[in-house]
Amino acid sequence: MKEVALAYAKINISLDIVSKMPDGYHNMKMVMQTVRLADEIEIECIKGEGISVRSGISFVPDDERNIAVKAAMAFYRHTGITGYKTQISIKKNIPVCAGLGGGSADGACVLRLLDKIYKTNLGRKKLEYIGYEIGADVPFCIDGGTSLAEGRGELLTNLTPLPKCNIVICKPAFAIKTPELFGKVRCEKIRVRPDTEGIIEALERSDLGGVARRMYNVFEDVLPKRFQEISAIKSTMYDNDAVGAVMTGSGPTVIGIFEDETLAINAYEHLRRSYEECYLTTAVERLGY
């Protein structure tokens, strides 16, 4: 039994940290969007035992640390299915440690594919529940589209789809440790927050400019000075006529929204001269789970 599917990256239109919860995690409020940039996942299930994964990238773990393996383990634990060896192949196109949810997208895709292979028909809510066990962004990546994500990211509300636009994604050649940024956040001291309700209302009006003008990520306010290149990339996006630009997730990737494809291509080509991991893409609507 073999199936193949795409694991779509996610971007943050906005990211707000509402409060710190008693368990130490943070209560988030984010508008999230699936984009066409995607990893390619192939799963083959044969008689036998064990779960294996290969990606061809040396620094991507090929054991239980890989979220794709965690997803398969969680699926079998919840369904009780036994007696099959699961071989997972991942062609990585989404940058690693980029704030684009590449690992979460892979984990969600594995859950969807196993559900299809075994005809378990678990449905979106059950898959999201399983996904939450392995990563905060996995529930969103199950169905994708345009959503409001709250709590740790598991409380999802479908939103009106992002109007048609062109998206430039640019990752500088460094990574940011998410715990480092969370450690710098003091919720009571956050002075500027994204206008989440304004974004939702703009989506309902199909007002791309209204969405783009409100794009904001509170993590940008606590970035150490050594990451000032992120601001430079945002400036380049705006210099090339982006209607909005923001760091996605905990970074370091910056995304820019463009109304016109030609302007997006110009920005992409400009950034591509300095940054290897630069992509031109579009939004993806919900997958239909």
* Residue numbers annotated as active site: 10, 137
What are the φ/ψ torsions at residue 82 (nearest 5 degrees)?
-135, 170
Angle of helix 102-117 relative to helix 123-132, nearest 10 degrees, comes to: 130
Can you read off the two tokens belonging to residue 274?
């300095």
Q: Tokens 């990339």 correspond to what residue?
A: 233
Can you read off the two tokens belonging to residue 84?
């099959």
Q: Are 5 and 111 in contact (CB under 8 A)?
A: no
C-alpha to C-alpha distance for 265 and 281, rounded to whole angstroms = 10
Indicate the SS3 state at residue 104.
helix
Q: Are 225 and 73 in contact (CB under 8 A)?
A: no
